[in-house]
Amino acid sequence: MRALHMVRASRPYGDSVRQAAQRAQHACIDRARALIALLALGLLVVLSMPGTARAEDGYDLWLRYRPLAQADAVRPHATQLVAPETTPTQSATRAELLRGLSGLLGTDLAVQPTATADGAIVVGTPASSPAIAALRLKTKDLGREGYLIRSARIDGHRATVIAANDDIGALYGAFHLLRLVQTAQSLDALDIREVPRTQLRMLNHWDNLNRHVERGYAGESIWDWHKLPDYLSPRYTDYARANASIGINATVLNNVNASAQQLTPMYIEKAAALANVLRPYGIRVFLSARFSAPVEIGGLKNADPLDPAVKQWWKDKADEIYKAIPDFGGFLVKANSEGQPGPQDYGRTHADGANMMADAVKPHGGKVIWRAFVYSHETPDDRAKQAWNEFVPLDGKFRDNVMVQVKNGAIDFQPREPFHPLFGAMPKTPLMMEFQITKEYLGFATHLAYLGPLFEETLRADTQVRGPGSTVAKVIDGSLHAGTLPKGAITGMAGVANIGSDRNWSGSHFDQANWYAYGRLAWNPYLSSRDIAQEWARMTFSSDDAVVQPIVGMMMGSREAVVDYMTPLGLHHLMGRSHHYGPGPWVEGGPRADWTSVYYHRASKDGIGFDRTTHGSGAVSQYAPPVAAQFDDVKKTPEEFLLWFHHVPWDYTTKSGRPLWGELVHRYSQGVDYVRGMRRTWDGLKGRVDDERHAQVATFLAIQEKEAQWWRDASIAYFQTFAQRPLPEGEAPPAHALDYYESLEFPFAPGNG
Amino acid sequence: MRALHMVRASRPYGDSVRQAAQRAQHACIDRARALIALLALGLLVVLSMPGTARAEDGYDLWLRYRPLAQADAVRPHATQLVAPETTPTQSATRAELLRGLSGLLGTDLAVQPTATADGAIVVGTPASSPAIAALRLKTKDLGREGYLIRSARIDGHRATVIAANDDIGALYGAFHLLRLVQTAQSLDALDIREVPRTQLRMLNHWDNLNRHVERGYAGESIWDWHKLPDYLSPRYTDYARANASIGINATVLNNVNASAQQLTPMYIEKAAALANVLRPYGIRVFLSARFSAPVEIGGLKNADPLDPAVKQWWKDKADEIYKAIPDFGGFLVKANSEGQPGPQDYGRTHADGANMMADAVKPHGGKVIWRAFVYSHETPDDRAKQAWNEFVPLDGKFRDNVMVQVKNGAIDFQPREPFHPLFGAMPKTPLMMEFQITKEYLGFATHLAYLGPLFEETLRADTQVRGPGSTVAKVIDGSLHAGTLPKGAITGMAGVANIGSDRNWSGSHFDQANWYAYGRLAWNPYLSSRDIAQEWARMTFSSDDAVVQPIVGMMMGSREAVVDYMTPLGLHHLMGRSHHYGPGPWVEGGPRADWTSVYYHRASKDGIGFDRTTHGSGAVSQYAPPVAAQFDDVKKTPEEFLLWFHHVPWDYTTKSGRPLWGELVHRYSQGVDYVRGMRRTWDGLKGRVDDERHAQVATFLAIQEKEAQWWRDASIAYFQTFAQRPLPEGEAPPAHALDYYESLEFPFAPGNG
């Protein structure tokens, strides 16, 4: 009502003229009144709807198309959309651009058959778009998934062109364009050419058919198997959108600790329904296969890979699956590891097993991804050596549609591990990287630990197998061994998903960044984790630098902080037994020595650390000679790997000048301090980040500080019993005695297998 | 832009005048333009925000405060709010009224210290509100939880008064007022007086500490134990709001198959954090207690209730809990039932066990709720008789703070059971009703089965123990045995919750109605389930009668349809083993006869049904003589209980004139037909119900039809092997042979213990 008042108040004219003016005004006012009332009502109605306060619950992820402060600069580049819509992928592309741009810019783009004005966005392939065909762009070497984004003139109008050879490339390009807008980059004079560096960019869901997620900290599985194939949750589509936006093109639906039931007709039908949802977004479905399935669901007596009946069973099973899912990706197999069945049960090799299954899917273009995370029933001298020992002799013995999937490090997704010695050691075998996105060993969902630097550190590590610069990234993208790999060998990366049915997908807002960073690095393993953090923070929280920079600052040091308060200086595998929650450096006994902590830290009165030098387990020798020589020498070993490779006396002088014991305590405290710093930084963002997300992150940081302190205190209390030295000056003693920490039990910690 | 164009187009004046008019117009236009632009931008911005398309995902439940078509009629009654805000409950009350009324009416209510205009809403107690004190209303007999809503004049202004003796009554009254608005009832001349008929209106969560929900079909537990006590999900508050809105005032956080861990200090602290969230909404926290906890977490040798050390342990434990949760409600105990430990393990009675725990909580005002759902290790002649046999002799032997919780029927939450013979049979013991809201035996979350009629049918059943009219409702509200119950005995009802972390809380939109109906009937067991359905449908879907009436129509027959396609004519317990999903009339063998189907249906060539007459198991004799006589006579037994009480030959003539076999098949088909009818009705509502919820319900109805058909076909195929008669004319044969149905396995069906 106040608005109308202001309009009425202006009557600045003489009498006769005034009447005319008044009439004019009234005519104007009547119309304006109607309009204003209408708009005000609309605004009121919309604003008053509960929930319109815009729950910032994180569901939108980084595809959070909220009004952009810099929208004015973008609008001239987004006046109309020329995009075909004759295939499902084309429809998805068009819908995403409309949704994104209208959300970000507050305008409705007109969809046009051709560009008729400046500012058109023209999307398509030479086949789907005459305008793009006419531009005769060099798209040949873009492959199926690459794309160009280019500023151009079409029919005399300024236009932004997204061109690809295939619909999926155009969809990726559309997401790229949206990212440019979301991160407030200029759309002038664009000349972008993107081709993914790896072919298979995959998520591994460790999701069981009962919806429990092994090592999942974000609620139960998003796959509602019971209601499939009939009910297709809208969430499946949003999952596909999020993955396509970062180029993920494959997903393994079920846990590597697989149930054979997954391969029964009922579950194949369910998987096919999911495949139908994911297909338009370029995502192919894979399944984890239990090696003994021919026995468990096939009625065979054994699962020997050389048994013709077993071979036939897998061929038939593959045929059955491909009938339901024509673009089925293939099988992921965890065999002869941690109790899973495998070819060694029949005296056969991993190659025998993998090749048998590879033959079954080969006629359909399928792949077999065989995990190198294996260790035998007998506890070895050093578990770190086993994968190398088992797999290097098999190099060159796998079918050309087999990939071997190798964890980033040789133990098991610790906060820090040196790169796995298999990288570079199998020049004839395509190796897939396996990263863990879910934070099994990094504080679960509540700890803020941005894993971009962890991924980057591994990818940039130099194997030196073909001289300096032989980075792990070059192994993964196939460039290092291009000459020796089988013809047509594919490349790829796998990430163990941190996705669950929690409203914000990942259990915490910041864990979304790990999914995002994984996808971006799978697309291009040479990206900088800091750049990715910048991108993500802008898309997820704000385009305001005063928000983005502190957030990126927090993120970039956060993983190092976890290393510090959990396992500094190369320590590893010191967590609570089985659930892996909280500190457990005292864990010993049980079925296997290499499932304990004491096996790994080897603390005694004399010192601490696992001697993997040539004088110890010899694991260093699995690396190329220059690397082996470096790790073999305690003085040359980077300090972050000190206790990984060396057993070091407590008074060993570290690079800081502090003796080892003092340095150890210092690192623990430093980790806790970093978390305190993150809390301060985050508190400073109150009011600049929406209240809902701010509150959850603030609470989680408080939990993280409490638990970081717990890790520090418990670890120090424990190791002090060996070091038998006082705490360095200024270091607070643990809050409790060691027996208190040892007494804590967490039988219901989430994510346990 | 089009708006501005319209304003500019009007220039109806001569030249000289025109200039003045134009100036005036321009002045007007400039202002109008600014305003319109601002408003349009606002609207656009708001509308363009993704998600502002107003995701109708069901999260809001029946507290869905969307703009009301009839808002004009209500606004004069809601111009200002006079409500105190000095206690948490008062704050919750004020916030809810502001949220609800602004959402429904599209206006912002001014909050005033006193009524200064017509249309004030005045809320409070004589203590909290001088205006209400001045009205000298008769609030005495409202108790703590009752309230008045009355149209009144305050300081010369028209006002609506919500008055109570206690803050919580005022909150309940506020929700009642909102319900009146939501259901578009007149606010003129209100004179409402509400007092709950039962004192304890409780949810039982069968939630485990690992977040698995036994018999839960809505995702995992909403209690995120791992992140408690630190992280308090906003969902906990919305849970409290929803419960308070229907008068639920107690909740048992954990499964009756309880873990002793729940009573450890760590979990008491977590429960206390939840209690703090729930307290302002009038909800008291109870815990399920494992009877053997003194052994498992207390280090005692036994849990004998007569052992002084055991007694002391429970006293100490109670003291510990009350220190953390001063208004802790007490313990719910499942003892000596389905493998749970209990007093009989030590040769003691249920009364011994209950009284020992009652003594422990008595000094703090706590209660013990002891479940009557017990059956011994030895399989009996008739499981239906056991609870009566065990508990009737104990009548009068319980402490006055013990309640015995009795399931609605004597078997286990079947789609239909006759009322439990314990109702009316323990005049000296307060009996709590236990209903199951979650649909363990009624098709899980996907089947539309409104349970209001089931609840109502039980509550209105006439036990006749004190002559006609001795309804179960009167047992529950204490009125039937007012003279014999212990002084100060409390009354109550428990509902096994259907709540989980699914976005829509209950797994499906229509299952929300069962939570709602349970709460309304717990408040007043004499309400009509149809009235409740009307209320709920209006609040949840639309205030448009053309939507509400078809929905209510679907709901009202839906439970009978489930009875028909699963277990018609008094059949019961014919579902798949352990997971209870799908038909399993052939289930036999295994550890206990009474865990099979054949035990219950007793089909043979001669007939079908469980003879519980005086010639059979004699279970009828547990009812009062007139009821017993009725059930004992096959001709007088209501047909819906025919095979519950009688073994009947296949050619027995039913009331329809059809022989039993024909009637059985007819009922099965009728159930399927009803679901088909619901699908048609629902299809007709497309466009009148938001797309998102419409689509999910439509898919679920399709699943329900498929599964109803499966139940019919499998049951007919099975029973035909006994009846050895052809299908009646016009009845389609089962789609598959019996062995197909028997071969189906569902190892991952949700909710299994």
Name the phi and psi angles at A749, rounded to 5: -55, 140
B307 and B361 both lie in a single domain: yes
Give, for B273, the enclosing helix (H) or strand (E). Answer: helix B265-278
Q: Which tens digits make up the pLDDT trace of B104-144?
A: 999 889 999 999 999 999 999 999 999 999 999 998 899 99
B259 and B137 both lie in a single domain: no
Interface of B with A in 56-85 (CB under 8 A): 59-60, 64-67
Please provide the DSSP assignment of A86-97 as one string.
SSHHHHHHHHHH
In a domain, A317, yes or no: yes
Contact with chain B for residue A47, Cβ under 8 A? yes
Angle at A628 between CA A624 and CA A631, to 5 degrees: 145
Q: Give how far the C-alpha of residue A532 lies from the chain's centroid of Cα atoms, to the nearest Å.
A: 12
Other residues' Cβ atoms within 10 Å of the Cβ of residue A379: 14
Distance CA(B648)–CA(B612), nearest Å, equals 12
Residue A54 pLDDT grade (very low, low, confident, very high; cuts 50, 70, 90): low
In a domain, A57, yes or no: no
Q: Which tens digits make up the pLDDT trace of B339-396?
A: 999 999 999 999 999 999 999 999 999 999 999 998 777 777 899 999 999 999 999 9
> What ranges make up the beta strands (E) of A33-156?
80-82, 110-111, 120-124, 147-154
Q: Among A137, A165, A194, which residue terminates a domain?
A: A194
Token reading at B746 = 């569902």
In SS3 terms, A613-675 reads as: CCCCCCHHHHCCHHHHHHHHCCCCCCHHHHHHHCCEECCCECCCCCEHHHHHHHHHHHHHHHH
In a domain, A631, yes or no: no
pLDDT of A25 above 90 = no
| Whether complex ipTM tops 0.90 | yes
Q: Give how far the C-alpha of residue B528 lies from the chain's centroid of Cα atoms, to the nearest Å.
A: 15
A21–B18: do the CB atoms touch at under 8 Å?
no
- Shortest Cα–Cα distance, B540 to chain A (Å): 14
B490 and B535 both lie in a single domain: yes
B327 and B211 both lie in a single domain: yes
A160 and A210 both lie in a single domain: no
Q: Give how far the C-alpha of residue B719 lies from the chain's centroid of Cα atoms, to the nearest Å.
A: 34
| CATH code of the domain containing A687 | 3.90.1330.10
pLDDT of A13 above 50 = no
Residues in B touching A46 (Cβ below 8 Å): 43, 46-47, 52
In a domain, A640, yes or no: no
Residues in B touching A208 (Cβ below 8 Å): 748
- The answer to whether residues A94 and A123 touch, using CB atoms and an 8 Å cutoff, is yes
pLDDT of A27 above 80 = no
Residues in A touching B446 (Cβ below 8 Å): 227, 231
A587 and A529 both lie in a single domain: no
Interface of A with B in 446-485 (CB under 8 A): 446
Counted domains in chain B: 4
Peptide bond into A229 cis (omega under 30): yes
Q: In what order do the strands lie in the sheet with A110-111?
A: A110-111, A80-82, A120-124, A157-164, A147-154, A191-194
- The closest alpha carbon to A451, from A520, A363, A362, belongs to A520
A47–B46: do the CB atoms touch at under 8 Å?
yes
Report the DSSP pairing between strands B607-608 and B648-649: antiparallel
The pLDDT value recorded for residue B380 is 76
| CATH code of the domain containing A106 | 3.30.379.10
Contact with chain A for residue B141, Cβ under 8 A? no
Token reading at A394 = 């098999």
Q: Among the options B60, B96, B440, B462, which is catalytic?
A: B440
List the single residue in A48, A102, A703 with the smallest CB-CB distance to B106. Answer: A48
| CATH code of the domain containing B453 | 3.20.20.80
A186 and A204 both lie in a single domain: no
Distance CA(B348)–CA(B330), nearest Å, equals 22
Long-range contacts from B636-641, C-beta under 8 angstroms, 24+ separation: B639/B569, B639/B570, B640/B416, B640/B563, B640/B569, B640/B570, B641/B416, B641/B418, B641/B570
Contact with chain B for residue A35, Cβ under 8 A? yes
- Does residue B594 have an active-site annotation? no
**Type of residue at B245:** S
B374 and B508 both lie in a single domain: yes
Contact with chain A for residue B296, Cβ under 8 A? no
Which sequence positions of A are flagged as catalytic? 338, 412, 440
Any idea how long chain A is? 753
The pLDDT value recorded for residue A12 is 36
List the single residue in B7, B105, B748 with the smallest CB-CB distance to A32. Answer: B7
Contact with chain A for residue B700, Cβ under 8 A? yes
Residues in CB range of B393: below 8 A, 6 or more apart: none
**Residue listed under structure tokens 């038909």:** B583
- Shortest Cα–Cα distance, A141 to chain B (Å): 36
- The closest alpha carbon to A241, from A193, A148, A178, A196, belongs to A178
In a domain, A66, yes or no: no
Count Cβ atoms within 10 A of the Cβ of residue A487 and give its class: 0-12 exposed, 13-18 middle, 19 or more buried.
exposed
Q: Among A170, A194, A218, which residue terminates a domain?
A: A194
Name the phi and psi angles at A163, rounded to 5: -125, 145
B8 and B86 both lie in a single domain: no
Distance CA(B242)–CA(B513), nearest Å, equals 12
CA distances for B466 relative to B459, B469, B623, angstroms: 16, 8, 12
Residues in CB range of B84: below 8 A, 6 or more apart: B90, B94, B123, B124, B128, B129
Residues in CB range of A172: below 8 A, 6 or more apart: A145, A146, A147, A164, A194, A244, A247, A282
- Alpha-helix runs per DSSP H in A183-288: 234-245, 265-278
Q: Which tens digits make up the pLDDT trace of B52-80?
A: 345 799 999 999 999 999 999 999 999 99
In a domain, B60, yes or no: no
- Shortest Cα–Cα distance, B570 to chain A (Å): 29
User: Which residue range(s) make up the domain with B433?
Assistant: 200-540
Report the DSSP pairing between strands A200-204 and A492-496: parallel
Q: Which tens digits make up the pLDDT trace of A257-316?
A: 999 999 999 999 999 999 999 999 999 999 999 999 999 999 999 999 999 999 999 999
- Does residue B412 have an active-site annotation? yes
Q: Which tens digits make up the pLDDT trace of B420-435?
A: 999 999 999 999 999 9
CA distances for A370 relative to A56, A286, A434, A498, angstroms: 40, 13, 11, 21
Q: Which tens digits make up the pLDDT trace of B552-584?
A: 999 999 999 999 999 999 999 999 999 999 999
- The closest alpha carbon to B194, from B164, B152, B161, B159, belongs to B164
Largest CA distance in chain A: 109
Residues in A touching B234 (Cβ below 8 Å): 692
Long-range contacts from B688-693, C-beta under 8 angstroms, 24+ separation: B688/B542, B688/B544, B688/B546, B688/B547, B689/B541, B689/B542, B689/B547, B690/B54, B690/B56, B691/B56, B692/A234, B692/B55, B692/B56, B692/B57, B693/B56, B693/B57, B693/B58, B693/B509, B693/B541
B534 and B580 both lie in a single domain: no
Average pLDDT of the residues in A576-589:
97
**Type of residue at A523:** W
- The answer to whether residues A717 and A734 touch, using CB atoms and an 8 Å cutoff, is yes
pLDDT of A195 above 50 = yes
Token reading at A375 = 């260790």
A466 and A343 both lie in a single domain: yes
The pLDDT value recorded for residue A22 is 52
Distance CA(B94)–CA(B566), nearest Å, equals 47
- Shortest Cα–Cα distance, B536 to chain A (Å): 18
- The answer to whether residues A124 and A170 touch, using CB atoms and an 8 Å cutoff, is yes
Residue A85 pLDDT grade (very low, low, confident, very high; cuts 50, 70, 90): very high
Residue A753 pLDDT grade (very low, low, confident, very high; cuts 50, 70, 90): confident
**Type of residue at B513:** A
Average pLDDT of the residues in A58-87:
96
- Shortest Cα–Cα distance, A42 to chain B (Å): 7
pLDDT of B11 above 50 = no
**Residue listed under structure tokens 């190329």:** A624
In a domain, B716, yes or no: yes
Give the nearest chain A residue to B71 (CA atoms).
Answer: A45
- The answer to whether residues A738 and A714 touch, using CB atoms and an 8 Å cutoff, is yes
In chain A, % of residues over pLDDT 90: 90
**Residue listed under structure tokens 């980033």:** A408
Residues in B touching A706 (Cβ below 8 Å): 230
Residues in B touching A22 (Cβ below 8 Å): 24
Distance CA(B584)–CA(B743), nearest Å, equals 10
A141 and A216 both lie in a single domain: no
Q: Among A159, A177, A194, which residue terminates a domain?
A: A194
Q: Which tens digits make up the pLDDT trace of A610-667?
A: 999 999 999 999 999 999 999 999 999 999 999 999 999 999 999 999 999 999 999 9
In a domain, B59, yes or no: no
- Does residue B588 have an active-site annotation? no
Token reading at B278 = 């729930």
> What ranges make up the beta strands (E) of A380-536?
402-407, 431-436, 492-496
Q: In what order do the strands lie in the sheet with B120-124?
A: B110-111, B80-82, B120-124, B157-163, B147-154, B191-194
- The answer to whether residues B556 and B688 touch, using CB atoms and an 8 Å cutoff, is no
Angle at B27 between CA B21 and CA B32, to 5 degrees: 115
Residues in CB range of B603: below 8 A, 6 or more apart: B585, B719, B722, B723
Residue B1 pLDDT grade (very low, low, confident, very high; cuts 50, 70, 90): very low
User: A403 forms bridges with which residues in the sheet?
Assistant: A369
A24–B25: do the CB atoms touch at under 8 Å?
yes
